[in-house]
C-alpha cells in the first residue's frame, strides 16, 4: 500500500488510481468527481479516456480516499457504473483536485 507523509502534520496519506467503466462520459461524471473529491479535501485529478472510461487519481487520508472510491462505485446521478478498478500508486500530485485533458 502506497502511503505518503501529509505536508501539514504527518498524517499518512494514501494514493489510488481509480478507473471507472460504464456510461461515465457525457454525464458530468468528471465535474461530479471534482466536486466529491474537493468536498472530501482530497488532492488529485480526473480525466476522460478515449476508450469511454474515466480515470482518476486521489491522494489523501485513507478514509477519505476510500469514501471517494465508494462514491465512484455508485456514480454521478446520470451515470451508469459497470466496473471500478483501484490500484495503489505513488502519491505525488499537485494540491487540489482538477480535471485533466482526455488521454
Note the pLDDT tens digit of each residue in 66-95.
999 999 999 999 999 999 999 999 878 999
Report, as ranges of residue numbers, the positions in the chain whose pLDDT lies below 70: 1-11
Instruction: Give the position of cell 462520459.
Output: 25
To the query of whether residue 11 is one of the catalytic residues in this protein, the response is no
Spot the catalytic one: 17, 30, 47, 49: 30
To the query of whether residue 48 is one of the catalytic residues in this protein, the response is yes
Query: How high is the pLDDT of residue 3?
Result: 47
CATH class of domain segment(s) 3-91? alpha beta
Spot the catalytic one: 11, 13, 47, 48: 48
What does the DSSP assignment read for 14-64?
A: EEEEEEEEEE-SSSSHHHHHHHHHHHHT-EEEEEE-TTS-EEEEEEE-HHH
pTM: 0.89
Query: How high is the pLDDT of residue 90?
Result: 87
Dihedral sign for Cα atoms in the order 10, 90, 96, 19:
negative
Amino acid at each position: 500500500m502506497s502511503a505518503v507523509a501529509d505536508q501539514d502534520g504527518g498524517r499518512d496519506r494514501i494514493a489510488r488510481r481509480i478507473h471507472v467503466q460504464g456510461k461515465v462520459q457525457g454525464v458530468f461524471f468528471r465535474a461530479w468527481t471534482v466536486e466529491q473529491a474537493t468536498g472530501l479535501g482530497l488532492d488529485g485529478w480526473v480525466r476522460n479516456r478515449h476508450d469511454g472510461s474515466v480515470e482518476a487519481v486521489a491522494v489523501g487520508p485513507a478514509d477519505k480516499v476510500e469514501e471517494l472510491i465508494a462514491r465512484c462505485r455508485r456514480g454521478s446521478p446520470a451515470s451508469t457504473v459497470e466496473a471500478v478498478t483501484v490500484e495503489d500508486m505513488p502519491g505525488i500530485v499537485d494540491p487540489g483536485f482538477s480535471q485533466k485533458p482526455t488521454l
